[in-house]
């Protein structure tokens, strides 16, 4: 190495092939010591210059340390892979102050809880720098700090839904946010989340219909085509993403390492969490499917003037079905337009370019309306509890700075928003900080920084700012993109940030570099008008969502009547997109002004989106544009921690135990600083505030926390002692009260026991006396009543007898009975008054007695009903038994008749063949009952049976067998008569026909027993008679055989 006055030379090698590098001496800067290499805070570097800062960030990046502190901001480099820093890991490393994004989130949360001031976290950086991912980490960590409740889960899932509907793949980022958002998370006084509000900025609607090569539309379209269940695909006629023109036009349908089908299932779960019903989800998916089919609608030219009509194919049929409109109305909307000229209406055909523009405008409007509807439903689910809301933390994540080969109106608005946020950042970090130092009169070293005010003036200056000129040209009937560029050149050529280019292009020098904007589409995109016929078509749809979209487009606060320049027809034009975006941006910044901001600067390490690839030039350019070096310098020389004298004394006054209440805040604050040996070089005292360098307040905070912990311990001990004393005193009093209550209860129990012991005896005596008195009264009343009635009956009978005798006497003598006079009859008919009174009194007593008897009669009637039921049961049993007896008696009669026939056959044995032993009925000695008519066609009675036997043996003298049978017949007749008489008597007693007091049931059982006993005895007699008859038959047979032998011997 050779050092010269103006240059430095570096030699490598000593041969002819040696290399030599020469550098201007001013470009050679000192390097930091090795022990500071990879430091996690750029302020600690010994030498603050671009090469040292760049080298430090590169060293940490390759060690997977993607977060680095830079004073008041956090630098986050996108690793393009998953580098997990779990919150639990952060908590274990918390004492090391590890520079994670969790530290920024927790610091913001603690400042909100400590200072009672709303906070904000603002993320900045180019597209692809990792802002969306970093914002998700911040939201997730804040949700965990705010308590594990349902609101936390909803907030995380809402962020996922917005990512699916608002993010897309671009050249610079595979998950680029195509809208800006502000998420305001509200906390209650205890630090728990009590709701959230999400606001969005400028959704890139043109991405629905127009894509550059290698880019994708919004993620939701590809997720729906890949992951929708079969019934939804059939219902919406969904096909693969390569079948839809809106999706396949860019030639990019997938993203590496991303499963769109799985993402769709995760999205459906998130929609369930934010309480969007499955029916509403299907309606939203139907609108997405309708947009895809709208993109497939094609046109055919019908004349030489390039007029077109819609081809009636599957696309237009599916789109109209999904929207719920008439297919003919949709075809007319996309191929014709109406011009109102006075009272006349003229219909004209659209050209091919106009028809495609109408189709794309309809699709973009439906998607934008669907996005707004979805955001409204999410905010309803995250509704803030105003009664509990206390403070809030706002997270700002908008699109990063973009610069492509072709930059249009979307990039124009995005870069303007980044200019505004960059101005807000520098104003808070540099301008306000240094103005505060001057106002408070402290010593400090001024830090110069690059201000972008000139670029903002280019956009906003009146009357010839970019936005105003664009809005003015949009209202002109004859304006075109070329006339717009010419007008910009004419009015803005003097601004150093503007440069007019050839062929209708112009360039703007932004804080992040120069960007060339193309002329095409600026006016059309800025107008963003919706044709009235398209709104009418949506209003006529049968489905709810298209009707809702149409009503939102027709709100008076958002539109006014204006001619549609592109079509020359009457339509509804809302405020121009550029001016509306400017108003939304100013509203966002006004809300941020009420908060204390915290900044995270996201850096993109390379344009190829590859991990472990660090492009120094790209990173350095971002560090310069974001002002990181200036932030480090002002943080090193400045005083980031500021407190008023009163705030400091109120917060740390407890550390000074001997301070007086009347002591001034400033003197108390200085005394506290001296007590803790805070070096004067690390703080300065202003007119109204105290200014501290970074990290100096941490010592006081630690001492304050230790003091509070000690106070809590002392309070715990004192409160515990007081509580114990109070408990012991209370226990003593309770014991005394309980003993007194026990004594009084014991006395009351003794008294009540004595009182209750006499109650039964008293009640019994009173009851006996009452019953005895009542019985005596009843007896006297009955006797008196009987005597009166008997006397009256006796007198009446006596009078009747006397009158009868008189009548007989007069009749016998032939005289008629004289008539009594009426007074005499009245005299006899009237009874003495005393007797009447007595009779009335007796009647009253008799009525009381009758009522008592009636109650007793009711009880007896109940008993009678029960007895009648039992009697009915006995009747059924008696009838069954009578039938059984009748059958048995009939069977016995049949058996006797069979026996008699058998005997008659034996008498005629000489004239007939020898009878078989089987002629006697089989059931003769059986206990089974035989039905009547089984053995004869005509029933026989015992008397007839006897006659039959006598008729059958006219020539035979009676013998022993016949006498036995006759005796059995007589006995059967007698017993039958006896049993019939007994049963008939019992039936009369039971039915009340007889006045006998016999127990019918008992007597019936006796009759049954007698019958069973007689039946057994009669069966024995039958068996004996049977054996006698067999013996007699055998003797007769022997006599016949002997006679036959004798006769035969004579003949021989």
Q: Identify the helix (H) or strand (E) that includes residue 9.
A: strand 7-12
Question: How many angstroms separate the CA atoms of 422 and 588, rounded?
Answer: 14
What crossing angle do the helices spanning 544-553 and 352-381 adopt, rounded to 10°?
100
Residue 237 CA to residue 322 CA, distance in Å, equals 9
Query: 63: which strand partners?
Result: none
Q: Report the pLDDT value the prediction gives residue 943, as an integer from 0 to 100.
A: 38
Let me know if residue 998 belongs to a domain.
yes
**Residues 403-422 pLDDT 10s:** 888 888 989 999 999 999 98
Q: Of 55-69, 173-187, 743-757, 864-878, where does mean pLDDT reach its minimum?
A: 864-878
Mean pLDDT of 581-603: 92
In a domain, residue 385? The reply is no
What mean pLDDT is predicted for residues 95-116?
77
Is 298 inside a domain boundary? Answer: no
pLDDT computed for residue 1037 by the predictor: 58
Burial class (CB in 10 A: 0-12, 13-18, 19+), 141: buried
Residue 830 sits at φ, ψ, to 5 deg, of -95, 135
Q: Does residue 761 surpass a pLDDT of 80? A: no
320, 322, 721, 789 from 248: Cα distances, Å: 22, 21, 78, 123
Residues annotated as binding site? 125-132
Is residue 244 pLDDT above 80, yes or no?
yes
Among 58-72, 575-589, 676-690, where is mean pLDDT lowest? 676-690
Q: Which residues does residue 340 pair with via DSSP β-bridges, in sequence order?
A: 345
Distance (Å, whole) CA 365 – CA 360: 8
- DSSP labels for 921-969? -TTTT--S---TTSS-SS---HHHHHHHHHHH-TTS---HHHHHHHHHH
Q: How confident is the model at residue 235 (pLDDT cuts 50, 70, 90)?
A: very high
In a domain, residue 1002? The reply is yes
Q: Is residue 948 part of a domain?
A: yes
**Hey, how many other C-beta atoms are within 10 angstroms of the C-beta on 538?**
27
In this prediction, residues 818-845 reach a mean pLDDT of 58
Q: What are phi and psi of 406, to 5 degrees?
A: -120, 115
Instruction: Quick: pLDDT tens for 337-358.
Output: 887 666 677 788 999 999 999 9
**Position 277 in a domain:** no
- Which of 109-113, 160-164, 221-225, 680-684 comes out lowest in average pLDDT? 680-684
Range in 584-588, 751-755, 785-789, 922-926 with the lowest mean pLDDT: 922-926
Q: What percent of the chain has pLDDT over 70?
A: 81
Q: Which residue numbers belong to the known binding site for ATP? A: 125-132
Residue 409 CB partners (closer than 8 Å, separation 6+): 521, 522, 525, 526, 577, 578
pLDDT of residue 208: 96
User: pLDDT class for 253, splitting at 50, 70, 90?
Assistant: very high
Q: Is 290's pLDDT higher than 50?
A: yes
Rounded to 10 degrees, the C-alpha dihedral 899/905/907/911 comes to 180
8-state DSSP, 596 = E
What is the C-alpha to C-alpha distance for residues 520 and 504, in angstroms, rounded to an integer? 9
Q: Among residues 628, 663, 626, 627, which one has the least CA distance to residue 648?
A: 663
Q: Which of 259-268, 726-735, 887-896, 949-958 has the lowest mean pLDDT?
A: 949-958
Look over the chain and give the mean of its residue pLDDT values, rounded to a whole number: 80
Q: Is the peptide bond before 463 cis (omega within 30 degrees of 0)?
A: yes
The more confident residue out of 824 and 549 is: 549
Among 20-24, 270-274, 792-796, the least confident range = 20-24
Mean pLDDT, residues 895-913: 59
* Count of CA atoms in the C-beta half-sphere (13 A) of 172: 22
Which is more confident, 294 or 1047? 294
H/E stretch holding 310 reads strand 308-310
Spatial CA neighbour of 395 closest among 199, 201, 604: 199
Q: Does 958 reside within a domain?
A: yes
Mean pLDDT for 494-511 is: 87
Q: Residue 781's CB: how many other CB atoms inside 10 A?
A: 18
803 burial (CB, 10 Å; 0-12 / 13-18 / 19+) is exposed
3-state secondary structure at position 1049: helix
User: Above 60 in pLDDT, residue 773?
Assistant: yes
Number of independent structural domains in the chain: 1
* Rounded CA separation 629/17 (Å): 39
- Please, is 37 exposed, middle or buried when counting C-beta atoms within 10 Å of its C-beta (0-12, 13-18, 19+)? middle
Based on DSSP, count helices (H) and strands (E) in the chain, helices before strands. 32, 25
In terms of average pLDDT, the best of 159-163, 498-502, 817-821, 915-919 is 159-163
Distance separating alpha carbons of residues 418 and 919, to the nearest angstrom: 133
**Amino acid 5: pLDDT:** 57
pLDDT band at residue 756 under the 50/70/90 scheme: confident
Average pLDDT score over residue span 170-198: 91
Percentage helix, strand, coil for the chain under 3-state DSSP, each rounded to 5: 60, 10, 30
Winning range, highest mean pLDDT, from 321-330, 498-507, 626-635: 321-330
805 domain residue, yes or no: no
> What gap in Å lies between CA 680 and CA 1043, rounded to an integer?
172
Mean pLDDT for 528-549 is: 91
Tell me the β-bridge partners of 826: none
Best-predicted range by mean pLDDT among 47-61, 862-876, 1029-1043? Answer: 47-61
Residue range 125-139, pLDDT digits in tens: 888 899 988 999 999
Q: Which residues pair with 560 in a beta bridge?
A: 573
pLDDT digits (tens, 9 = 90+) for 1015-1028: 888 888 877 877 77
Instruction: Answer whether 470's CB lies under 8 Å from 480's CB.
Output: no
Full domain range(s) for residue 999: 875-1051
The yes-or-no verdict on residue 620 having pLDDT over 70 is yes
**Distance separating alpha carbons of residues 834 and 5, to the nearest angstrom:** 164
**pLDDT surpassing 50 at residue 950:** no
Q: How many Å apart are CA 38 and CA 69, to the nearest integer?
A: 12
Q: CA-CA distance, 690 to 408, in Å (whole number)?
A: 49
Rounded to whole angstroms, the Cα distance separating 71 from 74 reads 8
**CA-CA-CA-CA dihedral for 454, 458, 462, 463, to nearest 10:** 140
CA angle 45, 46, 48 (to 5 degrees): 70
Rounded mean pLDDT, 319-342: 89
Question: According to the model, what pLDDT value does residue 636 have?
Answer: 72
Q: Residue 540's Cα: distance from chain center in Å?
A: 34
The answer to whether residues 320 and 330 touch, using CB atoms and an 8 Å cutoff, is yes
pLDDT score for 266? 96
For residue 1027, the tally of other CB atoms under 10 A from its CB is: 9
Helix (H, G, I), strand (E, B) or coil at 393: strand
Q: The whole model's pTM is what?
A: 0.63
The most confident of 43-52, 201-210, 980-989, 1028-1037, by mean pLDDT:
201-210
Per the CB < 8 A criterion, the answer to whether 100 and 381 are in contact is: no
Question: Nearest 5°: phi and psi at 491?
Answer: -95, -20
The tens digit of pLDDT for each residue in 996-1012 reads 666 766 777 787 788 88
């Amino acid at each position: 190495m050779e050092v010269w006055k103006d240059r430095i030379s570096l030699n490598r090698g000593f041969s002819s092939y040696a290399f030599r590098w020469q550098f201007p001496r001013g470009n050679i800067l000192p390097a930091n010591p090795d022990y500071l290499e990879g430091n996690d805070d750029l302020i600690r570097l010994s030498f603050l210059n671009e090469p040292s800062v760049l080298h430090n960030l590169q060293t940490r990046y390759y060690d997977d340390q993607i977060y680095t502190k830079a004073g008041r901001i956090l630098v986050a480099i996108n690793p393009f892979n998953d580098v997990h820093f779990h919150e639990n890991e952060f908590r274990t490393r918390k004492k090391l102050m590890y520079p994670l994004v969790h530290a920024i989130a927790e610091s913001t949360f603690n400042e909100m809880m400590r200072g009672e001031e709303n906070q904000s976290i603002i993320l900045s950086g180019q597209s692809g720098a990792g802002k969306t991912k970093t914002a998700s980490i911040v939201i997730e960590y804040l949700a965990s700090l705010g308590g594990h409740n349902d609101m936390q889960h909803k907030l995380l899932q809402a962020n996922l839904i917005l990512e699916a509907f608002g993010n897309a793949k671009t050249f610079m980022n595979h998950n680029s946010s195509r809208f800006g958002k502000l998420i305001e998370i509200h906390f209650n006084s205890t630090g728990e989340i009590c709701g959230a509000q999400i606001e969005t900025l400028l959704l890139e609607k043109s991405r629905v219909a127009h894509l550059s090569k290698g880019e994708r539309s919004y993620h939701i379209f590809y997720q729906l085509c890949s992951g929708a269940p079969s019934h939804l695909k059939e219902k919406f006629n969904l096909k693969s993403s390569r079948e839809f023109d809106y999706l396949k036009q860019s030639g990019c349908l997938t993203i590496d390492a991303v499963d769109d089908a799985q993402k769709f299932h995760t999205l459906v779960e998130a929609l369930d969490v934010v309480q969007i019903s499955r029916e509403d989800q299907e309606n939203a998916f139907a609108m997405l499917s309708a947009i895809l089919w709208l993109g497939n609608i094609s046109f055919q030219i019908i004349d030489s003037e390039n007029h077109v009509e819609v081809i009636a194919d599957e696309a237009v049929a599916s789109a109209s079905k999904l929207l719920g409109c008439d297919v003919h109305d949709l075809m007319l909307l996309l191929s014709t337009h109406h011009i109102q000229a006075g009272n006349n209406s003229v219909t004209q055909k659209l050209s091919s370019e106009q028809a495609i523009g109408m189709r794309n405008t309809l699709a973009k409007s439906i998607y934008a309306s669907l996005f707004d509807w979805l955001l409204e439903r999410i905010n309803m689910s995250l509704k803030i509890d105003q009664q509990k809301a206390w403070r809030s933390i706002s997270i700002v994540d908008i699109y990063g700075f973009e610069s492509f080969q072709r930059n249009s109106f979307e990039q124009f608005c995005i870069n303007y928003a980044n200019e505004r946020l960059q101005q807000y950042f520098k104003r808070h970090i540099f301008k306000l900080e240094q103005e505060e130092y001057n106002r408070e009169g402290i010593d400090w070293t001024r830090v110069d920084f690059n201000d972008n005010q000139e670029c903002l003036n280019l956009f906003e200056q009146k009357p010839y700012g970019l936005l105003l000129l664009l809005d003015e040209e949009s209202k002109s009937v004859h304006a075109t993109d070329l006339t717009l560029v010419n007008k910009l050149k004419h009015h803005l050529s003097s601004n150093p940030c503007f440069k007019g280019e050839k062929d209708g292009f112009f360039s703007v020098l932004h804080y992040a570099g120069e960007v060339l904007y193309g002329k095409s589409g600026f006016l059309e995109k800025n107008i963003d008008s919706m044709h009235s016929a398209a709104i009418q078509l949506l209003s006529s749809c049968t489905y709810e969502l298209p009707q809702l979209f149409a009503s939102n487009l027709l709100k008076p606060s958002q539109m006014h009547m204006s001619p549609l320049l592109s079509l020359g027809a009457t339509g509804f034009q809302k405020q121009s997109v550029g001016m509306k975006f400017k108003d939304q941006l100013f509203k966002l910044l006004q809300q941020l002004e009420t908060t204390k901001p915290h900044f995270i600067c996201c850096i993109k390490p390379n344009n190829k989106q590859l991990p472990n690839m660090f492009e120094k030039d790209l990173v350095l350019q971002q560090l310069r544009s974001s002002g990181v070096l200036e932030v480090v310098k002002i943080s090193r020389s400045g005083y980031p921690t500021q407190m008023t004298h009163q705030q400091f004394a109120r917060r740390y006054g407890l550390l000074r135990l001997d301070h007086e209440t009347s002591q001034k805040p400033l003197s108390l604050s200085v005394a506290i600083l001296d007590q803790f040996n805070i070096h004067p070089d690390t703080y300065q005292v202003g007119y109204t505030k105290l200014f501290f360098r970074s990290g100096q307040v941490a010592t006081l905070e630690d001492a304050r926390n230790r003091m509070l912990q000690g106070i809590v311990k002392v309070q715990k001990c004192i409160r515990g002692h007081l509580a114990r004393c109070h408990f012991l005193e209370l226990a003593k009093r309770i014991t005394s009260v309980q003993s007194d209550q026990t004594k009084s209860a014991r006395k009351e129990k003794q008294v009540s026991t004595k009182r209750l012991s006499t109650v039964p005896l008293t009640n019994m005596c009173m009851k006996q006396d009452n019953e005895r008195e009542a019985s005596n009264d009843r007896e006297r009343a009955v006797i008196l009543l009987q005597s009166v009635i008997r006397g009256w009956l006796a007198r009446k009978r006596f009078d009747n007898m006397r009158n009868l005798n008189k009548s007989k006497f007069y009749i016998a003598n032939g005289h008629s009975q004289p008539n009594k006079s009426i007074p005499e009859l009245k005299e006899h008919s009237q009874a003495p008054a005393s007797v009447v009174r007595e009779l009335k009194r007796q009647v009253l007593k008799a009525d009381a007695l009758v009522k008592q008897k009636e109650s007793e009669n009711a009880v007896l009637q109940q008993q009678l009903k029960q007895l009648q039921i039992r009697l009915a049961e006995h009747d059924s049993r008696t009838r069954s038994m009578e039938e059984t007896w009748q059958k048995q008696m009939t069977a016995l009669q049949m058996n006797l008749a069979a026996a008699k026939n058998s005997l008659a056959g034996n008498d005629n044995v000489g004239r007939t063949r020898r009878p078989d032993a089987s002629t006697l009925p089989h059931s003769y000695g059986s206990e089974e009952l035989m039905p009547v008519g089984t053995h004869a066609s005509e029933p026989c009675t015992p008397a007839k049976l006897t006659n039959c036997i006598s008729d059958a043996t006219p020539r035979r003298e009676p013998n022993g067998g016949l006498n036995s049978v006759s005796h059995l017949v007589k006995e059967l007749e007698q017993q039958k008569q006896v049993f019939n008489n007994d049963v008939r008597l019992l039936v009369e007693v039971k039915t009340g026909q007889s006045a006998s007091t016999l127990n019918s049931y008992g007597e019936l059982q006796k009759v049954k027993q007698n019958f069973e006993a007689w039946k057994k005895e009669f069966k024995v007699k039958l068996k004996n008679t049977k054996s006698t008859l067999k013996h007699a038959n055998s003797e007769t047979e022997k006599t016949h055989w002997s006679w036959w032998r004798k006769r035969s011997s004579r003949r021989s």
